Amino acid sequence: MSSPSSAVPLVMGGSPYSVVVLQEGFSEALPDGGMRAEGTVGLVLGPQPTLVDTGGPWGRERLLANLAARGVSPGEVRHLVCTHGHSDHAGNLNLFPSAQLVMGTDVSLPGGRYLPTGLRQGQPYVLHEGHLEVLPTPGHTAADVSLLVRGTELGDVLLAGDLFEREGDEGVWEELSEDPARQAQSRARALELADIIVPGHGGPFRVDRRKRSQQ
């Protein structure tokens, strides 16, 4: 899936958009059969600042501090893309009442106006033509989405939520999937589109173009 070359940095520059991994997610199994987890949080800086996932409610102050360190206030976030509705990804939505919210396949404006989209029919939802595009990537949940950022210095970056748990997650993601067959299709499509994947519970990784045909 990935190249053995150098690790992907947490800041991926570009014009007009760059991608910053504000928080690298993780997950670990616990002895009682439970799990401890925190979701990745991504920030897209540029003409339309966009946040991808918000982490869990237990990380509220850390999220605000990480945004402030990048010179961004909650009110400056233009779009908030929540890849799916699990608590470790959607725990701080109320910090961004002035943002357009893409919550899975639902899109709403401040004040509660919902917009028609084709996300549920498998069509992308464009935030900024040629640059930012929300893609339906179902499987982990039926309404999962990912954000494709085109044209960074490292290529096209897909902030994918739990479409990918982490690099090398084969044999892991299936157990957490509502629909493994559908998720496998979404993963294969993602690997065709992206140069870099930002997964939900690990660091960003490069897509090995030589292996794309094998997925």
Q: pLDDT tens across 91-137, in order?
A: 999 999 999 999 999 999 999 999 999 999 999 999 999 999 999 99
Q: pLDDT tens across 68-86, in order?
A: 999 999 999 999 999 999 9
pLDDT score at 210:
61
Q: Which domains does the chain have, with CATH numbers?
A: 11-214 (3.60.15.10)
Average pLDDT, the chain: 94
Q: How far apart are CA 181 and CA 164, in angstroms?
A: 14
Peptide bond into 124 cis (omega under 30): no
On the question of pLDDT at 43 being above 90, the answer is yes
Sign, Cα dihedral of 180, 120, 76, 85: negative
Q: Within the chain, where are the H helices?
A: 60-69, 180-193
Q: pLDDT tens across 130-177, in order?
A: 999 999 999 999 999 999 999 999 999 999 999 999 999 999 999 999
- The 3-state secondary structure of 163-188 reads CCCCCCCCCCHHHHCCCHHHHHHHHH
Band (pLDDT 50/70/90 cuts) for residue 6 is: low
pLDDT score at 1:
47
pTM, 2 dp: 0.94
Select the highest-mean-pLDDT range: 2-11, 30-39, 47-56. 47-56
* Burial of 156 per CB tally in 10 Å (0-12, 13-18, 19+): middle
On the question of pLDDT at 208 being above 90, the answer is no
Kindly list the distances between the CA atom of residue 198 and the CA atoms of 32, 61, 202, in Å, as whole numbers in the listed order: 29, 23, 8
